[in-house]
């Protein structure tokens, strides 16, 4: 009898573990599935591609994770990213064309200024939400319009082009270049090898991996192991309790929106490195909504107090694998949207079935 009970408890624990990590289980499932259905899916090159192309989405999801855990939402991240991207692009372009500075200095100054600029929308949203009690949806929707307008003004409606080549060399570079017979090279192709021969080399660990890995590692550390992270959960769980425990909730909320905007700003700078141009964000991109989707798929609740950074990243990967796998398997790309919608709804239903998971 007692053995039976233990078995049931064990089983329910297993079930809970699966339900808690269902997104991860789905990810494994789809990887296996597409390995059979899609030719060329199961390869290091393709996997590297999937991750490389979803780095921006990972930034977005990381930003939303903090905001959503605190019980808010940030609709402006996509356009803050665009603002940061065109700001970086414009400054690098101006400095580069003036010819007075070396390429490295141009890129450094442009990136740093873009990151600082991207803090401003976060600061404003945060103050409105924390001090004036404007609902996060409205405050960040307002910022959605404002940052988009300013980004378009900066770039006058066109992407900022003719930037130094060094950008894409870093942004699309790899840590290891390998070719049978010519050995291993780190960070760049061997001297004298033309760019059109690049396909002969096996390229491993894109530099973007290292960047996003560090960013995720640091953010996860902040969320899980610091007072800042603990207070973020507390505010999302019970704002009143947080206030009465002496946490400066207003200041904390402002910091959260600044952090979110800063992460979006990093995405914008990264975007310049990846594409070699400063891009404004189009209305159709919906970065913020896909970011929210990934976070919710990762098990967070829009009511706040719940969510894990790595789970959000799994959410991004799940969407990216679906997209890539469906494409390679020859399915019309529009099914991707339906798939994301389905995953979202599944996430909510699982959340309602197992409310005590986190």
Partner 1 sequence: MQSLMTQKNKDLLLKIGKQWAVIFFVAEIIFFGLTAKGFFTVNVFQIVLFFGTAVMLMAVAELFVIITGGIDLSVGYVMGLSTIIATKLIVYFSASGMPEFWGIFFGIIITLVLGLIPGLINGLLVSRLNVPPFIATFSMLGISHGVSELLLTEGAAKNLPHLANVIGNGHFLYFVKGGGFSFFARPEVARGVKVFELFPNVVVITLIIVAIFAFVLSKTVFGIHTYAIGGNEDSAIRSGINVKNHITKIYMLSSLLASSAGVIYMLKYVTGKADAGASLLLDSIAAVVIGGACLTGGKGTVWRTILGAVIIAVLETGLRILGIPTFDKYIMVGVILILAVLIDRVFPETTYKE
Partner 2 sequence: MSYLIETRDITKRFGGLVAVNKVNFGVSPGEVVALLGDNGAGKSTLIKMISGVYPNDGGDILYNGEVVKIHTPIDALAAGIETIYQDLALAENLNVYSNIFLGREKTKKRLGIFHVLDHSYMYDEAVGILKKLDIKIPSLRNNVRTLSGGQRQAVAISRSIYWNAKVLIMDEPTAALGVAQQKQVLDLVNSLKDHGLAIILISHQMHDVFEVADRICVMRRGELVGNLVKKDTTTEEVVSLIVGSEAVS
As to burial, measured by CB atoms within 10 angstroms (0-12 exposed, 13-18 middle, 19+ buried), residue 170 is middle
- Cβ 348 to partner 1 shortest distance, Å: 5
Give the max Cα distance, the chain.
82
Identify the CA nearest to 121 among candidates 158, 74, 64, 71.
74
Supply the minimum distance, in Å, between the C-beta of residue 243 and partner 2: 7
Please report where in the chains the tokens 């977005």 appear, as a residue.
Answer: 60
Shortest separation between residue 130's beta carbon and partner 1, angstroms: 12
Report the residue from 33, 42, 134, 310 that binds partner 1 according to the rule CB under 8 A.
134
Q: Can you read off the two tokens belonging to residue 315?
A: 């959410």
Number of residues engaging partner 2 in binding (CB under 8 A): 23
236 touching partner 2, by CB under 8 A? yes
Does 263 contact partner 2 by CB under 8 A?
no
Q: Do 235 and 253 form a contact (C-beta atoms < 8 A)?
A: yes
Which of partner 2, partner 1, none lies near 308, with the C-beta cut-off 5 to 8 A by kind? none
Partner from partner 1, partner 2, none contacting 39, C-beta within 5 to 8 A by type: none
Question: Of these partners, partner 1, partner 2, none, which one is at the site of residue 236 (CB under 5 to 8 Å by kind)?
Answer: partner 2
- Cite the DSSP H helix spans in the chain: 2-20, 22-37, 44-53, 55-69, 77-98, 103-131, 136-155, 166-171, 207-225, 227-237, 239-244, 249-275, 287-297, 309-328, 335-353
Q: Which of 283, 330, 353, 356 binds partner 1 (CB under 8 A)?
A: 283
Place of tokens 């597409």: 34
Distance CA 225, CA 222 (A): 6
Interface mask (CB under 8 A) for partner 1, residues 286-325, using x and -?
A: x--x--xx--x-----x-----------------------
Q: Answer yes or no whether residue 352 interacts with partner 1 by CB under 8 A.
A: yes
Contact region for partner 1 (CB under 8 A) — 111-119, 148-156, 262-270, 321-329?
A: 148-156
Nearer to partner 1, 259 or 292 (CB): 292
The two three-digit tokens of residue 342, written as one number? 């389905």
Report the partner that residue 283 touches, choosing among partner 2, partner 1, none (CB closer than 5 to 8 A by kind): partner 1
How far is the C-alpha of 70 from the C-alpha of 78, rounded, in Å?
A: 19
Task: Quote the DSSP letter at residue 77.
Answer: H
Interaction of residue 182 with partner 2, rule CB under 8 A: no
Q: Sheet of 174-179: strands edge to edge?
A: 183-186, 174-179, 202-206
- Segment near partner 1 (CB under 8 A); pick from 38-46, 82-90, 258-266, 283-291: 283-291
Q: Do the Cβ atoms of 358 and 299 come closer than 8 Å?
A: yes
> Pick from 132, 181, 240, 352: which binds partner 2 (CB under 8 A)?
240
Q: Phi, psi at residue 184, to the nearest 5°? A: -100, 135
160: β partners: 278
**226 by DSSP, 3-state: which?**
coil
Taking CB under 8 A as the criterion, the residue among 14, 184, 198, 349 binding partner 1 is 349
- Residue choice 90, 203, 255, 306 for contact with partner 2 (CB under 8 A): 306
- By CB under 8 A, tell whether 143 contacts partner 1: yes
Among 13, 16, 39, 244, binds partner 2 (CB under 8 A): 244
Distance CA 121, CA 103 (A): 28
Residue ranges in contact with partner 2 by CB under 8 A: 221, 225-227, 230-231, 233-234, 236-238, 240-247, 305-306, 356, 358
Residue ranges in contact with partner 1 by CB under 8 A: 73, 128, 132-135, 137-139, 141-150, 152-153, 156-157, 283-284, 286, 289, 292-293, 296, 302, 332-338, 340-342, 344-345, 347-349, 352
């Amino acid at each position: 009898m007692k053995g039976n009970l233990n078995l049931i408890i064990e089983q329910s624990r297993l079930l809970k573990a699966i339900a808690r990590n269902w997104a991860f289980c789905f990810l494994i499932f789809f990887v296996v599935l597409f390995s059979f259905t899609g030719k060329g899916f199961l390869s290091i090159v393709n996997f590297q591609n999937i991750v490389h192309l979803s780095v921006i989405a990972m930034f977005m999801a990381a930003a939303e994770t903090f905001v959503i855990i605190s019980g808010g939402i940030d609709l402006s991240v996509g356009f803050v990213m665009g603002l940061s991207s065109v700001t970086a692009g414009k400054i690098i372009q101006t400095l580069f064309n003036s010819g007075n500075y070396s390429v490295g200095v141009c890129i450094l100054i442009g990136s740093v200024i873009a990151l600082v600029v991207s803090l401003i929308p976060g600061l404003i949203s945060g103050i409105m939400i924390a001090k004036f009690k404007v609902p996060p949806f409205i405050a960040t929707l307002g910022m959605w319009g404002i940052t988009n307008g300013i980004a378009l003004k900066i770039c006058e409606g066109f992407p900022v082009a003719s930037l130094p080549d060094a950008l894409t060399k870093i942004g699309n570079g790899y840590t290891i270049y390998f070719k049978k017979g010519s050995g291993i090279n780190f960070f760049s192709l061997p001297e004298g090898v033309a760019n059109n021969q690049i396909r002969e080399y096996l390229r491993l660990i894109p530099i973007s991996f290292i960047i996003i890995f560090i960013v995720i590692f640091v953010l996860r550390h902040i969320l899980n192991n610091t007072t800042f992270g603990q207070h973020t959960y507390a505010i999302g769980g019970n704002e009143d309790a947080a206030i009465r425990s002496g946490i400066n909730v207003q200041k904390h909320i402002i910091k959260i929106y600044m952090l979110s905007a800063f992460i979006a700003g990093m995405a914008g700078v990264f975007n310049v490195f990846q594409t070699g141009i400063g891009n404004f964000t189009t209305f159709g991109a919906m970065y913020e909504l896909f970011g929210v989707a990934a976070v919710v798929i990762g098990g967070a609740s829009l009511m706040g107090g719940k969510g894990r950074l790595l789970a959000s990243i799994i959410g991004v990967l799940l969407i990216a694998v679906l997209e890539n796998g469906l494409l390679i398997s020859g399915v019309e790309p529009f099914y991707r949207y339906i798939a994301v919608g389905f995953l979202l709804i599944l996430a909510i239903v699982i959340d309602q079935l197992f409310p005590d998971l986190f």
